[in-house]
Amino acid sequence: MTLPAFSRPTPSDMRRSMGRFTTGVAVVSAEDSDGEPCGMTISSLTSVSLDPAIILVSLTHGSRTTEAVEAGGRFAVSILSSRQEAVARRFATRGGARFEGLPCDRTACGLPVVADALAHLECTVHSAHDIGDHRVFYGDVSELRWRDGTGLVFYSGRFGDFRDFGHDEVPWLF
């Protein structure tokens, strides 16, 4: 199949193009100024540094979660398992009490995290920058925990899971 000609990116073309990049799925959570938990589903999460441990998350301008992270200076990340598609969908909708009736745990500093996720990271905001229609937060990871399992992935507007080709683990050089 031949690719079409290059063109200036529109928001929908950008979404379709970046949808070809398979990502993991996570929930970023915080507490708002009233102490109420808030959160949103993200696929824009990356490890920036291993030592010190720093991650990057990109959150939509104007969302309650973005405002809570900005005001509180801290956030948590729950990396979802392949069995948590319903949680991802719940936190991807606008408005509502997303944590209501949802089993959750708390980090060492009291932030809400999704129970049974594959990993939880508690972060203090290192720095933040406005980039286009998002606010990018760099987080110093202060605490974390993880367990084995299969992660939830997102590709071309669909959820799925990782299929292992049966190869040995790739030995990273660190």
Check residues 169 and 105 and name the one with the higher pLDDT: 105
The segment with the largest mean pLDDT, out of 10-19, 40-49, 154-163, is 40-49
At 173 the pLDDT is: 56
Q: How confident is the model at residue 113 (pLDDT cuts 50, 70, 90)?
A: very high
Q: What is the largest CA-CA distance in the chain?
A: 54
Instruction: State the chain's mean pLDDT as an integer.
Output: 92
* Burial label, 154 (beta-carbon count in 10 A; 0-12, 13-18, 19+): buried
3-state DSSP assignment of residue 1:
coil
Give the angle subtended at the CA of 78 by the CAs of 93 and 168, to the nearest 5°: 120
SS3 for 76-122, per residue?
Answer: EEEECECCCHHHHHHHHCCCCCCCCCCCEEECCCCCEEECCCCEEEE
Whether residue 174 has pLDDT greater than 60: no
> Which of 1-10, 81-90, 129-138, 139-148 is the least confident region?
1-10
Measured CA to CA in angstroms, residue 142 lies from 16, 78, 139, 170 at distances of 35, 14, 9, 27
Check residues 47 and 166 and name the one with the higher pLDDT: 47
Domain boundaries, the chain: 23-158
Measured CA to CA in angstroms, residue 100 lies from 104, 110, 152 at distances of 10, 17, 22
Helix (H) or strand (E) holding 41: strand 37-42
Task: Convert the pLDDT of each residue in 14-32 to its tens digit.
Answer: 888 888 888 999 999 999 9
Whether residue 59 has pLDDT greater than 60: yes
Supply the CATH classification number for the domain 23-158.
Answer: 2.30.110.10
Whether residue 49 has pLDDT greater than 90: yes
Task: Convert the pLDDT of each residue in 125-141 to its tens digit.
Answer: 999 999 999 999 999 99
Q: Of the candidates 113, 114, 111, which has an alpha carbon nearest to the alpha carbon of residue 125?
A: 111
